[in-house]
Amino acid sequence: MLAASEPVAYRLVSLAFAASQMKLPLVKSKDAENVDARDGYTKLLRLRDGTTIPDPLQLYDGWVAEKEGIDWSVATVHDIEHFRLLATAG
């Protein structure tokens, strides 16, 4: 370990040299990480045929209430178990 009294620039050079000798991977800057995250998110919005779907976090118009948009039928535990038994019977 380097002594605390050594100049900061010398310590930095020593640490950089040691990291290169150990072949440590480079650490990305926060800006580079943000760019990678944005690119990854954009990639998720791209379909296989190349079309891009709208970003769901940027949709503000055209929303309907849950009761209007989805018909939640009443399902009991008995109904779910009956369906599971029929699905795994064959």
Residue 41 and residue 55: Cα distance in Å, rounded?
9
How does pLDDT run across 58-88, given as a tens digit for each residue? 988 888 888 888 877 788 899 899 999 999 8
Task: State the DSSP string of 3-59.
Answer: -TTS-HHHHHHHHHHHHHHTTPPPPPPHHHHHHHHHHHHHHHTB-TTS-BPPPGGG-
Instruction: Dig out the tokens for 57 from the structure.
Output: 């976090």
| pTM confidence score | 0.45
